[in-house]
């Protein structure tokens, strides 16, 4: 538990830890590539540590010296049968992506995680993998992990995904590496494309296409015999930067620079929403590193207005909705968030956790079936925040606490370890 009160004048520069999505993918692709993969600015959050543990159990030597990691890849067919169950912890990304790789292996494996993970929907990967010829089942027959995967002969399919989910897309593409023929995935709108960018860097035969006059995006992969180890510097995670963007905008008399942040357009929807809300944000030193766009983000205290967040932008900011809701609570006027039913199947049901906690802080907010409606600008007061061990709820409401009257208690605040172990230290650096 942590107790926080309001502050003014956040000033300075912050360095954000490595991107969680990219860090997972470095371990996975590094493990099935030939040669070593050297990863700098690797995120040492619990989710990414779970991915390292799983691949170690699959026989991969992975050196972890703090922020840099060296993966001694054993090639596309080099994984060994695990002698124990693979513990995926709280990580949906680990579970869904590794399942695509495991579906193509000549050995059995079992995956299980914590209570939250084991209640999240896995039919969304079981169904397409089964169509490819994989043998994957939910051990408790409830469509969730624990999962059991045994050898199957994979054939490429075309999958028209009902959800814009990078985890589903990546799972199928990784299985496609082991399938006969071509595998393609069409999603209703483009979700984060780190798997595609990184697979290309590692030498996979892959191409992406946007349909004309439609938001649909298709990616196609052909099986391959070899991937090649890479040297990767992971950009700062925009999902983690989002808390400091919000803090810089909301806390009076603030000016902060958030350095080396990934601004891949499939992730940077929050910047567009901030612009729509009237935020004073400038992107400095824009550049491309390792195929990923990066910038330093200068943020100054701003008067925000309500906005509508809907449609194709949703997948590009899905993890930022809790902090966007906090900004909306402090903004003048009404903010409507819709088309975001996916929030219900994150680490918690984030429509409920966001609405319940903002209500506890005095916000005029209503849950809807696919989002929420927030009547902002009436101020927040301190409250006890029930994070339900959801890291993004802990961090979003820590920022709300900085602009609320009175004291806010964040229960189970240690859960920030999932994606941002040094979150509260970064904060102190700005005070
Ligand atoms: C992720 C994809 C998103 C996101 C998650 C990380 C990834 O999930 O919410 O935090 O690394 O692929 P979905 O694919 O389920 O939308």
- Of 97, 94, 74, residue with least CA distance to 175: 97
**Residuewise pLDDT in 10s, the chain (431 residues):** 999 999 999 999 999 999 999 999 999 999 999 999 999 999 999 999 999 999 999 999 999 998 789 999 999 999 999 999 999 999 999 999 999 999 999 999 999 999 999 999 999 999 999 999 999 999 999 999 999 999 999 999 999 999 999 999 999 999 999 999 999 999 999 999 999 999 999 999 999 988 766 778 999 999 988 999 999 999 999 999 999 999 999 999 999 999 999 999 999 999 999 999 999 999 999 999 878 899 999 999 999 999 999 999 999 999 999 999 999 999 999 999 999 999 999 999 999 999 999 999 999 999 999 999 999 999 999 999 999 999 999 999 999 999 999 999 999 999 999 999 999 999 888 87
Structure tokens at 168: 């589903």
* Size of the chain, expressed as the number of residues it contains: 431
| Beta sheet of 61-65, edge-to-edge order | 61-65, 68-74, 34-40, 231-233
For residue 186, the model assigns a pLDDT of 96
DSSP readout, 403-428?
A: TSBS-EEETTGGGGGGT-TTHHHHHH
Q: Which of 22, 26, 165 to mutate to test the pocket of ligand 1 (most atoms within 8 A of CB)?
A: 165
Residues 110 and 148: beta-carbon distance below 8 Å: yes
Q: Give the nearest ligand 1 atom to 165 CA.
A: 14
Joined together, the tokens standing for residue 244 give 């400091």
- Whole-number Å distance between alpha carbons of 333 and 344: 25
Tell me, in angstroms, the distance from the centre of ligand 1 to residue 167's CA.
5
Tokens 């124990």 found at: 84
CA distance to 106, 387, 416, 418, per residue, from 392 (Å): 37, 8, 7, 9
Distance between CA 138 and CA 136 in Å, rounded?
A: 7
> What is d(CA 234, CA 407) in angstroms, rounded to the nearest whole number?
36
- Residue to substitute in 29, 90, 93 for testing ligand 1 pocket (most ligand atoms within 8 angstroms of CB): 93
C-alpha of residue 166 to centroid of ligand 1, in Å:
6
Give the containing element (helix H, strand E) for 313.
none
For residue 136, the cross-strand partners are 149
Determine contact, residues 302/278, Cβ cutoff 8 Å.
yes
Find how far residue 300's CA is from the centre of its chain.
Answer: 26
Cβ of 185 closer than 6 Å to ligand 1, yes or no, is: no
Distance 332 CA to ligand 1 centre (A): 30
Mark whether 319 is an active-site residue. Answer: yes
Contact 299, 248 (CB under 8 A): yes
* Residues paired with 368 in a beta bridge: 371
CA of 342 to the centre of ligand 1 (A): 10
Phi, psi of 83 (to 5 degrees): -90, -5
Q: Which two tokens stand for residue 312?
A: 């194709």
- What predicted TM-score, i.e. pTM, was given to this entire model? 0.97
My answer on whether omega of the bond before 146 falls inside 30° of 0, hence cis, is yes
Identified catalytic residue from 47, 319, 390, 417: 319
Pairwise CA distance, residues 251 & 299, whole Å: 11
For tokens 């903010």, the residue is 335
Residue 246: CA count within 13 A, CB half-sphere: 29
pLDDT at position 212 is 64
- 232/69 Cα distance (integer angstroms): 10
Beta-bridged to residue 280, according to DSSP, are: 300
């Amino acid at each position: 538990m942590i107790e926080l009160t309001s502050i003014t004048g956040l000033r300075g520069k912050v360095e954000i830890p490595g991107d969680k999505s990219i860090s997972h993918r470095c371990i996975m692709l590094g493990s099935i590539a030939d040669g070593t993969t050297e990863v700098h600015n690797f995120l040492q959050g619990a989710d990414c540590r779970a991915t390292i543990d799983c691949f170690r159990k699959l026989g991969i030597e992975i050196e972890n010296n703090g922020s840099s990691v060296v993966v001694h890849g054993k090639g596309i067919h080099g994984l060994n049968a695990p002698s124990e169950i693979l513990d995926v912890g709280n990580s949906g990304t680990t579970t869904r992506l590794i399942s695509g790789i495991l579906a193509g292996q000549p050995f059995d494996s079992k995956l299980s995680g914590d209570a939250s993970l084991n209640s999240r929907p896995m039919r969304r990967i079981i169904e397409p993998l089964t169509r490819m010829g994989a043998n994957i089942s939910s051990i408790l027959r409830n469509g969730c992990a624990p999962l059991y995967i045994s050898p199957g002969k994979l054939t490429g399919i075309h999958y028209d995904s009902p959800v814009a989910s990078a985890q589903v897309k990546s799972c199928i593409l990784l299985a496609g590496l082991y399938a006969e023929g071509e595998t393609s995935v069409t999603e209703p709108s483009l979700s984060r494309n780190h798997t595609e960018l990184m697979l290309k860097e590692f030498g996979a035969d892959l191409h992406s296409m946007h349909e004309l006059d439609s938001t649909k995006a298709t990616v196609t992969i052909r099986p391959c015999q070899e991937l090649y180890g890479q040297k990767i510097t992971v950009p700062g995670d925009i999902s983690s930067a989002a808390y400091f963007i919000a803090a810089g905008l909301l806390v009076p008399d603030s000016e902060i620079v958030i350095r080396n942040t990934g601004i891949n357009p499939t992730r940077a929807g929050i910047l567009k929403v901030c612009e729509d809300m009237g935020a004073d944000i400038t992107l400095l030193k824009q550049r491309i590193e390792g195929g990923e766009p990066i910038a330093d983000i200068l943020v100054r205290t701003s008067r925000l207005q309500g906005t509508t967040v809907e449609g194709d932008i949703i997948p590009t900011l899905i993890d930022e909705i809790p902090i966007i809701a906090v900004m909306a609570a402090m903004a003048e006027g009404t903010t409507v968030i819709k088309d975001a039913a996916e929030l219900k199947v994150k680490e918690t049901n984030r429509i409920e956790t966001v609405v319940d906690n903002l209500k506890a802080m005095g916000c005029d907010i209503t849950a809807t079936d696919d989002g929420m409606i927030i009547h902002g600008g009436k101020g927040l007061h301190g409250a006890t925040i029930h994070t339900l061990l959801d890291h993004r709820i802990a961090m979003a409401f820590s920022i709300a606490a900085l602009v609320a009257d009175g004291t806010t208690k964040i229960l189970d605040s240690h859960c920030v370890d999932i994606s941002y172990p040094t979150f509260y230290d970064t904060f102190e650096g700005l005070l």
